[in-house]
Structure 1
């Protein structure tokens, strides 16, 4: 297996682990808000499962961002100065429509509104499809491809995107630097070291 596929599989299993933790957080919050689950208090959003799903997944999104930024894609620098946060949030909000659509279909087309059906539709099928979409979009739009020395030797022009090549050219460009004016009495750092006096 090549380095590229090894990197994809490593990122994929890390993404699944972080996504699994974020999903557990979202499922617990969703079920507390919609079904209560014998906690002794009425479920505040039992009549509005879509809002509950969004709220629960905002908490899951926080867990997902921290895990993705610091562990899953730690070798990939973010494409933007904000660490990819804005694009990360946009992608999460857009892909959140996938499980919401599954939940809507289960409730309105199939007439199923029990906890088991809600969780199968939104938190298993919907989140799985959303997770696949997010993994692809995060790797493509939020975090840059890591550059490895072996890749540079084999394919020097295919490693970079055009925007990255322009940044590299700017870094390699010669810079005119004026010599600093120093105090004539200050010892020079370029002189050889003098032996200590006896």
Structure 2
């Protein structure tokens, strides 16, 4: 049997496919995240410039506006092929993990603003972006692992069915009673 027909021969190709899919997912996640970043920074700067809302509170409000924009992008573009059966669960987990990401993001901005006194517009933007970057790593992991769960691929479902069929107990063949065999033999002679 050639190597390409063996499971080991296909493992490199399977890995390439998985890496390609992961690369596409990261690109889509990044595109949605970039839109969220623009929304986040724009809203933050508008609030910092035109209101008296403190730096961290304004940053937090902007983060929540961006989170809502990101949910729409993630659900309907990045993860549109994922399980859609439990929307309440999905939205609850999305908001929970987004809140954790917001704490990470605001923690960096808070430390810069109140811990070091770095609160000029440029410094606030730099630390806001730094916080977003750190929080994005957490969000990517949590969204793909817990929120937008992948549906099982067709190959794994088929291989599970084949495995179940291979493990199933064969039905024993019960021989016909001897009397029935004799009657059939007698009929065949006539």
Q: Same fold per TM (> 0.5)? A: yes
Q: Cα 1:150–1:126, aligned 2, differ >3 Å: closer, same or farther?
A: same
- Tell me which residue corresponds to 2:120: 114
Contact 1:79 1:141 in 2 (8 A): no
Query: RMSD in angstroms over aligned alpha carbons?
Result: 1.8
Q: CA–CA distance in 1 between the matches of 2:140 and 2:81? A: 15
- Measured after TM superposition, the shift of residue 110 of structure 1 is 2.3
Structure with greater proportional helix content: 2
TM-score in terms of structure 2 length: 0.71
Contact 1:79 1:143 in 2 (8 A): no
Task: Name segments (4+ residues, structure 1) moved above 4 Å.
Answer: none
TM-score in terms of structure 1 length: 0.68
Among 126, 140, 143, the alignment partner of 2:145 is: 140
Q: Cα 1:101–1:79, aligned 2, differ >3 Å: closer, same or farther?
A: farther
Q: CA–CA distance in 2 between the matches of 1:146 and 1:15? A: 18
3-state SS of the aligned residue for 1:96?
Answer: helix
CA offsets, 1:106-152, max 9 Å, x none? Answer: 12332211011111111x21101111110100111112223222333
Q: CA–CA distance in 1 between the matches of 2:55 and 2:64? A: 14
Residues 156-195 of structure 1 correspond to what in structure 2 (within 5 A)?
156=160
Q: CA–CA distance in 1 between the matches of 2:148 and 2:43? A: 29
Among 60, 63, 66, the alignment partner of 1:54 is: 60
Q: Which has the larger radius of gyration?
A: 2
- Tell me which residue corresponds to 1:3: 17
Q: Which runs of 5+ in 2 are unaligned?
A: 1-14, 162-190
CA offsets, 1:9-60, max 9 Å, x none? Answer: 11111011001101101111111111x2xxxxx4231xx1121112111111
- Give the number of equivalent residue pairs: 147
Q: Which runs of 5+ in 1 are unaligned?
A: 37-41, 158-198
Among 39, 44, 64, the alignment partner of 1:30 is: 44
Q: CA–CA distance in 1 between the matches of 2:80 and 2:98? A: 19
Contact 1:112 1:118 in 2 (8 A): yes
Among 107, 114, 135, the alignment partner of 1:101 is: 107
